Amino acid sequence: MSIKFFLDEKDIPRQWYNLAADLPTPLQPPLGPNGKPVTPDMLAPVFPMNLIEQEVCQDRWVDIPEEILDILYRWRPSPLYRAKALEEALGTPARIYYKNEGVSPPGSHKPNTAVPQAWYNKKFGIKRLTTETGAGQWGSALSFACALLGLECKVFMVRISFDQKPFRRLMMETWGGNCIPSPSPETNAGRAILEKMPDTPGSLGIAISEAIEAAVTDPTGQTRYSLGSVLNHVMLHQTIIGLEAKKQLKKAGENLPDVVIGCAGGGSNFAGLAFPFVADKIAGANITIIPVEPQSCPTLTRAPFSYDHGDTAKMTPLLPMYSLGHAFVPPPIHAGGLRYHGMAPLVSQAVNEGLLTPLALGQIECYEAAMLWARTEGFISAPETSHAIAATIREAKKAKEEGKEKVILMNWSGHGLMDLTGYHAFLEGKLHDYPLPDAELAKSMSVMNGLPKPSTAKTGKW
Amino acid sequence: MSIKFFLDEKDIPRQWYNLAADLPTPLQPPLGPNGKPVTPDMLAPVFPMNLIEQEVCQDRWVDIPEEILDILYRWRPSPLYRAKALEEALGTPARIYYKNEGVSPPGSHKPNTAVPQAWYNKKFGIKRLTTETGAGQWGSALSFACALLGLECKVFMVRISFDQKPFRRLMMETWGGNCIPSPSPETNAGRAILEKMPDTPGSLGIAISEAIEAAVTDPTGQTRYSLGSVLNHVMLHQTIIGLEAKKQLKKAGENLPDVVIGCAGGGSNFAGLAFPFVADKIAGANITIIPVEPQSCPTLTRAPFSYDHGDTAKMTPLLPMYSLGHAFVPPPIHAGGLRYHGMAPLVSQAVNEGLLTPLALGQIECYEAAMLWARTEGFISAPETSHAIAATIREAKKAKEEGKEKVILMNWSGHGLMDLTGYHAFLEGKLHDYPLPDAELAKSMSVMNGLPKPSTAKTGKW
């Protein structure tokens, strides 16, 4: 019996799917400092116009340019696996399938959007991209994409990660990326922080400020900023994962899955797998779709649907999203990619509509799941991915209790070979969970009190 | 145009190819301390009898048990790639293909033999395997295999690597392997060394001695030793690479390649790709087959075909092989997996026959090649693999000079994500080559003076 389902290159999806076209309640616009919707022109110094057009696009299907496919073919279509060994270990009647996004050169789903973003920038005449990175997954994916397309890439990496994760930085440098610790003396934002706090470990908020400043202040006008999650066009690019999975499930003899699962930080790998199935759910299919977040950063499970800034420094427009408050500092869990206070507006809107069933898990349960995965399926998972695995195991056990032959589809978003310290802590018994007290959350969310509120109207029941 | 060629699981090779059956001059036997051929019984305390039978097997084809295939399917058949971006960067008329062995969970070709070895041991009733590891590729592959098959695994890791490469150790521990620094206080061999040199960095020779001792002294008799290269059964298990490549080249519209290239330390990844094509060469095909070794460890290019010990401590039988002398200590190049004084007897015999065209390269040229690879093909290569890439680039340039549409096939034996320090040294301009003076080599090879000599008869001209 097969455990791995390929697609030939000729069968790769040639269009991305845009959930914005099908959402029962339309997506609400980002708001500028004046409280009014942001216009494309206002974003022009930050992003190239062709990507801004994609950001506001309402078309259901968007063609993938051939030149982008030519690069994606290096790891796409990614294989769909049947997790037969895990099923047997659990004794579940469920059939568990997962997309292996760890086969990309940087080892995660991130290049699915890094390549299109670099390509559209290049087409628009841009020579240089700036971005920020925390743990380094996104910075290495963008460095990779820029290397293949001949763009310069500057990555502001949160200083503490820069110091603690030298191998991530070396990945970026191997691909020609210029990775510098943030705060840096290269920007006004960085200099101001360094003057006040010369020994600061840095933060994603500061790094975003520096990356945007470095882009918009380039006097040649040939630099733009790039973001690895949250935005609509990022979700769009990632839907190739779910579109491939649909074709591969058919090859495996399955129809639609009963359960779809992905971990969710900013939302992109989750959206990538799930959105094509959200379309089926809107059309009437009975599918449980689960974004999994950390118990210590419970955006979708304990925060309100609100308008909030995407960054700590309030440089971004207000986005309609579930948010713990833009000043929230998540506890130091190992899944750095899930330590984000907000959530992609498209994912948020789908949650508000009741289309998704969010779940929050503690990291100890997630590492237990990742250990079982490593010793059955064989792959070592990224700490972020372990959240999806833990939720999958919960669902597989539920299917066993119910005696149901459910089909579960999961996104294995990346390997953990660059992030083994969490496994070490787990094996040594030194891993902690960080449940958040209500009072702490309330305080964090209070920064949104004066901000505008999006409509929370719901149109459907799923 | 496709750049990636899959095989469905149903098309996986179901037999391994044994070059011993086709070598024009038969392989000469290993010799024991008495100078006489080693008998299977003498090896029984070290290896299980079913693997010893494979070691001396003369059958051309050996069936791959279904249960082994069930595990190999996790990464096999591995994809065959066309290196179109590299071809374009070089402006070569050559068509370059490579097998991507980096898709396995441990990230290299090593589990192709780790899994069968663990499986045969288990079938023989063995509960525990011991092995040594230098940089950690083999130790992690065997830990992985033992995890999936429910065996215990003990890895003696050269102390300096144990200290310098904590992430490799964490990989092994995640798969349940027990990784300890060698020399250790757990064996007589280790204790003797520690008493004399408490601060020794260790060596592969010492680690082999400890691993063998730990296996043969287990009073339960349920422990055996496992080796990741050099031996005939290891070469056999790796031939699945080349057998898949043959089928995939057909899918790509090619006949036999003109050039076949792999890096060679102990010889296993090279043999895995090349041996099925050596068969074609013996049958009359015109193929140039190139094992690539480091200039600093020039076993095939500057050493004699001799009998020598496989380890520094002279615990192993005498093997008929090209050897720099069992006491040779290679310079500290980054390609740890190529720092071996000897070479697999099957590869050695094929070289002696004139079937292969060995090449030695300096590591700076190899890192230059790996950098070009990362920025064209996109994948970050293991330092060992970079030797195959550099030779491929040489051949592609030669094809350009000659104006010939050659087909080059290379083994991309593993990714370099756990070995980025070499890239760092290269980027900083701190990388050195280590050409070996003749006098130094002569001195190193003098340890073989009193040892028996294998026949160097040649039967063919290729």
Give residue-wise pLDDT tens across range B226-277: 999 999 999 999 999 999 999 999 999 999 999 999 999 999 999 999 999 9
CB of A8 within 8 Å of a chain B CB? The answer is yes
Can you tell me the distance from the alpha carbon of B323 to that of B36, in angstroms, rounded to the nearest whole number?
20
The three state secondary structure string of A356-423 is CCCEEECHHHHHHHHHHHHHHCCCCECHHHHHHHHHHHHHHHHHHHHCCCCEEEEEECEECCCCCHHH
pLDDT band at B134 (very low <50, low <70, confident <90, very high): confident
Tell me if B16 is assigned to some domain. no
- What is the predicted pLDDT for the residue at A178? 98
Give residue-wise pLDDT tens across range B10-51: 999 999 999 999 999 999 999 998 899 999 999 999 999 999
- What is the predicted pLDDT for the residue at B311? 85
Q: How many domains does chain B have?
A: 1
Task: Inspect the interface and report whether the beta carbons of A418 and B417 lie closer than 8 Å.
Answer: yes
- What is the predicted pLDDT for the residue at A308? 96
In chain B, whose CA is at the least distance from the CA of A428? B173
Task: Inspect the interface and report whether the beta carbons of A374 and B424 lie closer than 8 Å.
Answer: no
Give residue-wise pLDDT tens across range A119-164: 999 999 999 999 999 889 999 999 999 999 999 999 999 998 898 8
Tell me if A321 is assigned to some domain. yes
Task: Inspect the interface and report whether the beta carbons of A4 and B9 lie closer than 8 Å.
Answer: yes
Whether the pTM exceeds 0.95: the reply is: yes
Can you tell me the distance from the alpha carbon of B92 to that of A337, in angstroms, rounded to the nearest whole number?
41
pLDDT band at A311 (very low <50, low <70, confident <90, very high): confident
> Beta-carbon neighbour count of residue A284 at 10 Å?
7
Check whether the bond before A183 is cis (ω within 30° of 0).
yes
- On the question of pLDDT at A52 being above 90, the answer is yes
Tell me if A381 is assigned to some domain. yes
At A191, list the tokens: 């200099």
CB of A82 within 8 A of CB of A96?
yes
A101 is in which domain, residue-wise? 4-9+63-107+232-448
Residues with Cβ within 8 Å of residue A442, at least 6 apart in sequence: none
Taking chain B, what is the end-to-end CA distance rounded to the nearest angstrom?
35
CB of B174 within 8 Å of a chain A CB? The answer is yes
CB of A425 within 8 Å of a chain B CB? The answer is no
- What is the predicted pLDDT for the residue at A288? 98
Long-range contacts of A159-166 (CB under 8 A, 24+ apart): A159/A183, A159/A200, A159/A201, A159/A202, A160/A201, A160/A202, A161/A133, A161/A134, A161/A135, A161/A136, A161/A202, A161/A336, A162/A202, A165/A135, A165/A136, A165/A418
- On the question of pLDDT at A1 being above 80, the answer is no
Can you tell me the distance from the alpha carbon of A436 to that of A21, in angstroms, rounded to the nearest whole number?
36
Tell me if B114 is assigned to some domain. no
CB of B429 within 8 Å of a chain A CB? The answer is no
pLDDT band at A392 (very low <50, low <70, confident <90, very high): very high
Check whether the bond before B45 is cis (ω within 30° of 0).
no
Can you tell me the distance from the alpha carbon of B212 to that of B209, in angstroms, rounded to the nearest whole number?
5
CB of B112 within 8 A of CB of B272?
yes
Task: Inspect the interface and report whether the beta carbons of B380 and A105 lie closer than 8 Å.
Answer: yes
- On the question of pLDDT at A261 being above 90, the answer is yes
- On the question of pLDDT at A182 being above 90, the answer is yes
- What is the predicted pLDDT for the residue at B60? 98
B181 strand-pairing partners: B157
User: For all residues of chain B together, what is the average pLDDT?
Assistant: 95
CB of A174 within 8 Å of a chain B CB? The answer is yes
Across B115-128, average pLDDT: 98
Give A126 to chain B, closest Cα distance, Å: 19
CB of A118 within 8 A of CB of A146?
yes
- What is the predicted pLDDT for the residue at A242? 98
A223 strand-pairing partners: A128
**CA-atom Rg of chain A in angstroms:** 21
CB of B171 within 8 A of CB of B135?
no
- What is the predicted pLDDT for the residue at A134? 85
Can you tell me the distance from the alpha carbon of B109 to that of B415, in angstroms, rounded to the nearest whole number?
10
- On the question of pLDDT at B461 being above 80, the answer is no
Tell me if B385 is assigned to some domain. yes
Name the nearest CA neighbour of B78 among B209, B355, B228, B272. B272
Note the ipTM here.
Answer: 0.95
Show the DSSP H helices in B4-136 as ranges: 40-43, 49-55, 66-72, 84-90, 111-123
Q: Residue B297's domain is classified under what CATH number?
A: 3.40.50.1100
- On the question of pLDDT at A303 being above 90, the answer is yes
At B73, list the tokens: 């399917």
Residues of chain B neighbouring A170 (CB-CB closer than 8 A) = 420-421, 423-424
Give residue-wise pLDDT tens across range B404-431: 999 999 999 999 999 999 999 999 999 9
CB of B438 within 8 Å of a chain A CB? The answer is no
Interhelix angle B363-376/B383-402, nearest 10 degrees: 80
Residues of chain A neighbouring B3 (CB-CB closer than 8 A) = 9, 70, 73-74
Tell me if B264 is assigned to some domain. yes
User: For all residues of chain A together, what is the average pLDDT?
Assistant: 95
Q: Rounded to the nearest 5 degrees, what angle is found at the Cα of B197, between the Cα atoms of B191 and B201?
A: 95
The one-letter amino acid code at B326 reads H
CB of B175 within 8 Å of a chain A CB? The answer is yes
- On the question of pLDDT at B174 being above 90, the answer is yes
Query: Is B429 exposed, middle or buried, given 0-12, 13-18 or 19+ CB atoms closer than 10 A?
Result: exposed
- What is the predicted pLDDT for the residue at B374? 98
Tell me if B126 is assigned to some domain. no
CB of B375 within 8 Å of a chain A CB? The answer is yes
Which helix or strand (DSSP H or E) is residue B148 part of? helix B137-149
CB of A310 within 8 A of CB of A319?
yes
CB of B170 within 8 Å of a chain A CB? The answer is yes
Handedness of CA B219, B228, B324, B190 (dihedral sign): negative
Token pair 């756990």: residue? B418
- What is the predicted pLDDT for the residue at A205? 82
Percent of chain A with pLDDT over 90: 90
Ranges of beta strands (E only) in B256-372 are: 259-263, 288-294, 305-309, 318-322, 359-361
Tell me if A433 is assigned to some domain. yes
**Which residue among B105, B107, B170 sits closest to A423, beta carbon to beta carbon?**
B170
Task: Inspect the interface and report whether the beta carbons of B174 and A10 lie closer than 8 Å.
Answer: no
- What is the predicted pLDDT for the residue at B205? 83
Residues of chain B neighbouring A378 (CB-CB closer than 8 A) = 71, 74, 105, 144, 147-148
- Candidate from A113-117, A135-139, A364-368, B276-280 with smallest mean pLDDT: A135-139
Q: How far is the CA of B121 from the CAs of A9, B57, B433, in angstroms?
A: 39, 17, 41
> Beta-carbon neighbour count of residue B449 at 10 Å?
8
